Amino acid sequence: MSKCRPCVITLLTDFGYQDAYVGIIKGVITGINPVVKIIDICHNVSPQNILNGAYLLYTSYKYFPAGTIHVAIVDPGVGSKRDIVCVKTRNYLFVVPNNGILSFVVKEEKPEYIIRITNNKYFLPSISNTFHGRDIFAPVAAYLSLEIKLRQLGKKINQLELLDILAVKAKNNEQLEGNIIYVDRFGNLITNITKQHIKSLEINYKYLKILIGKKKIVGMSKNYADVNKGKPLALFGSTGFLEISISHGNAQKYFKVNKIIEEDKDLIFFCEK
């Protein structure tokens, strides 16, 4: 962590914007380190949906300056036996429940140390059973921004819990079977298919067939305005994944993808030669 720039702490949670939970966390952090910069990544992770949080963290963490402390709290196990960990990668520190929320991130940034956080010297004096964001995550992150040693937080462990994210299935170099892993505000459907996957099909983008339910899209687009208003299209989105969109419209509504994407999701689609 460079000393010449104010340290950054980011917050990603499922606490929403309806209650005071996020404000309280910022109060605790500011009380410990009044000059740290706190930046919200998002607080509308679908409640208790770890996959959702893992995806959002993956799309954003790398755009922050090296040394940033990322706090991500989607924590259905709060108050039970699950661990809270501090994970150091080459460029960042993560303070998270050990429940799979780093599943995407660790594909890009290997953990160098994983510490199970147990030292209550860095917690609030009184720990509730339901709001560890306030009582543990916030003060730990704030003390980390004051550059305490990681080892002061607890013992090193070797393994992180990871989500069993449904992998892309390939069939004879002819077909890929993928899943929707996220739906954004504009109704864009984000899949788990990357350019690498499509390359394996050895086909020119413009002949690629994408089947979603009973609808078919032929060819990849470059941008949302590439097809006529109201028409579906597929493109590689800003996160590097194949996305299904409607030009000037909403693919979630068009394809009736109304439900929250869950781990055991059934929104299978295909890319074919």
What does the alpha-carbon distance between residue 197 and residue 213 come to, in Å, rounded to a whole number? Answer: 20
Number of neighbours of residue 227 by Cβ within 10 angstroms: 19
**Per rule CB under 8 A, is residue 104 in the interface with a copy of itself?**
no
Of the residues 9, 56, 96, 189, which one makes contact with a copy of itself according to CB under 8 A: 56
Reported as type and span, the H/E element at residue 50 is helix 50-60
Q: How many CA atoms lie within 13 A of 271 on its CB side?
A: 34
**Per rule CB under 8 A, is residue 74 in the interface with a copy of itself?**
no
Using CB under 8 A, which of the segments 30-38, 92-100, 106-114, 197-205 binds a copy of itself? 30-38
Using CB under 8 A, which of the segments 8-16, 157-165, 192-200, 209-217 binds a copy of itself? 8-16
**Per rule CB under 8 A, is residue 252 in the interface with a copy of itself?**
no
Of the residues 91, 118, 120, 128, which one makes contact with a copy of itself according to CB under 8 A: 128
- Where b means 16+ CB within 10 Å and e means fewer, 229-253 reads eeebbbbbbebebbbbbbbebebbe
What does the alpha-carbon distance between residue 232 and residue 245 come to, in Å, rounded to a whole number? Answer: 6
Using CB under 8 A, which of the segments 13-21, 87-95, 210-218, 252-260 binds a copy of itself? 13-21
**Per rule CB under 8 A, is residue 224 in the interface with a copy of itself?**
yes
**Per rule CB under 8 A, is residue 258 in the interface with a copy of itself?**
no
72 within 8 A of 45, measured Cβ to Cβ: no
Of the residues 146, 167, 218, 225, which one makes contact with a copy of itself according to CB under 8 A: 225
Give the residue from 49, 39, 43, 88 showing the smallest Cα distance to 181. Answer: 49
- State whether the Cα torsion 158-164-9-120 is positive or negative: negative
**Which residue, 48 or 173, has its beta carbon nearer to a copy of itself?**
48
203 within 8 A of 176, measured Cβ to Cβ: no
Of the residues 116, 150, 157, 184, which one makes contact with a copy of itself according to CB under 8 A: 184
Residue 137 dihedral angles phi and psi, to the nearest 5°: -60, -50
What does the alpha-carbon distance between residue 39 and residue 69 come to, in Å, rounded to a whole number? Answer: 10
**Per rule CB under 8 A, is residue 30 in the interface with a copy of itself?**
yes
Of the residues 97, 100, 178, 237, which one makes contact with a copy of itself according to CB under 8 A: 237
CB of 30 to a copy of itself, least distance (A): 6
Which parts of this chain interact with a copy of itself (CB under 8 A)? Answer: 5-6, 8, 10, 12, 15-24, 26-28, 30-31, 34-35, 37-44, 47-48, 56-57, 59-60, 63-65, 68, 76-80, 128-131, 134-135, 184-186, 222-226, 235, 237-238, 243, 248
